[in-house]
């Protein structure tokens, strides 16, 4: 099991993963209009740019995308952002993740979030804010299993959002 950076080599698998999200309300980070599927090479190029892009300095900071491979099978994607200070980001936090539908419920998520926290340390974060809809029981369990402290629950656009901090020191 390993985290990799998005790579064209896995284009077909990534396309299949995105198709699995089509019938549910999961919108991929950086792809709010759902266009990544039509142009995966550009999506991959963008993820590389976001790791360097100065425009994000006052917004997300740099942002890193990882995919998880298990036995060469693509099952997971994650975004890790340098910043979560701005008011809006206090709802979204440093990390966003999703696992392909066909691989859920196999206890992958807890382990993979732990791997991602190691990446967060590598980019210099001492603590991370991770949020989820309060009624997303699976995600809450994944976050809590990684040593999270629930700071509060806020109302954002009609939904209750649980805001957790994970200490990385």
Residues 111-140 interacting with ligand COA (rule: CB under 6 A)? 132, 136-139
Show contacts of 106-109: CB within 8 Å, 24+ apart: 108/68, 108/70, 108/75, 108/76, 109/76, 109/138, 109/139, 109/142
Does 73 bind ligand COA (CB under 6 A)? Our answer is no
In angstroms, what is the minimal distance from the CB of 145 to ligand COA?
7
Show contacts of 12-15: CB within 8 Å, 24+ apart: 13/73, 13/74, 14/40, 14/67, 14/74, 15/40
Does 26 bind ligand COA (CB under 6 A)? Our answer is yes
Three-class secondary structure of residue 88 per DSSP: coil
Q: Which is nearer to ligand COA, 53 or 103 (CB)?
A: 103
Does 141 bind ligand COA (CB under 6 A)? Our answer is yes
Using CB under 6 A as the binding criterion, the count of chain residues that bind ligand COA stands at: 18
Q: Which is nearer to ligand COA, 47 or 162 (CB)?
A: 162
Contact footprint for ligand COA (CB under 6 A): 26, 97-99, 104-110, 132, 136-139, 141-142
């Amino acid at each position: 099991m390993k985290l990799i950076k998005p790579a064209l080599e896995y284009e077909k698998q990534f396309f299949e993963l995105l198709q699995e999200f089509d019938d549910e309300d999961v919108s991929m980070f950086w792809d709010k209009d759902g266009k990544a599927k039509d142009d995966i090479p550009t999506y991959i190029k963008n993820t590389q740019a976001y790791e360097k892009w100065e425009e994000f300095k006052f917004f997300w900071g740099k942002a890193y995308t990882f995919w998880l491979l298990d036995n060469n099978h693509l099952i997971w994607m994650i975004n890790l952002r340098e910043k979560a200070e701005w008011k809006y980001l206090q709802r979204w936090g440093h990390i966003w993740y999703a696992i392909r539908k066909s691989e859920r419920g196999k206890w992958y998520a807890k382990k993979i979030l732990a791997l991602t926290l190691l990446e967060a340390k590598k980019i210099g974060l001492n603590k991370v804010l991770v949020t989820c809809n309060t009624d997303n029981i699976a995600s809450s369990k994944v976050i809590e299993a990684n040593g999270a402290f629930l700071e509060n629950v806020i109302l954002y656009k009609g939904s209750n959002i649980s805001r957790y901090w994970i200490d990385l020191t």
